[in-house]
């Protein structure tokens, strides 16, 4: 087998990207450039309540939600810290 080639039936050279990888990278580039600019323009035109709804929805994809923490206790019982991933 010649150097730089694989058993790939498409004959694609070693290290070259397939079409899906190239498309995925192009989509990622759009999301962080033109798509982000467009989203910010649309968000800026919304009223506060609508903005917060969509902003918080998008934020979930940007940074995962943190688990809520609840502290429970009284005079006769020790403090319990309950960490739940259900919101």
* Alpha carbon distance 30, 24 (integer Å): 10
Confidence category of residue 45, pLDDT binned at 50, 70, 90 = very high
| 1 pLDDT above the threshold of 80 | no
- Give tens-digit pLDDT for 59-73: 888 777 777 777 666
Output helix, strand, coil percentages for the chain, rounded to the nearest 5: 45, 15, 35
Q: Where are the beta strands (DSSP E) in 1-87?
A: 68-74, 77-84
- For the chain, domain boundaries: 33-84
Give the mean model confidence (pLDDT) for residues 52-58: 91
- Give tens-digit pLDDT for 13-44: 888 899 999 999 999 999 999 999 999 999 99
The label of the residue with tokens 């192009």 reads 26
| 87 pLDDT above the threshold of 70 | no
| 7 pLDDT above the threshold of 70 | no
When the pLDDT of each residue in the chain is averaged and rounded to a whole number, the result is: 82
């Amino acid at each position: 087998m010649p150097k730089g080639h694989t058993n790939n039936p498409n004959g694609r050279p070693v290290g070259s990207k397939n079409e899906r990888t190239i498309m995925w990278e192009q989509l990622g580039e759009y999301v962080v450039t033109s798509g982000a600019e467009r989203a910010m323009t649309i968000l800026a035109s919304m009223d506060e309540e609508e903005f917060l709804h969509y902003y918080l929805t998008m934020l979930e994809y940007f940074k995962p939600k943190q688990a809520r923490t609840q502290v429970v206790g009284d005079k006769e019982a020790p403090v319990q810290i309950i960490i739940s991933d259900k919101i």
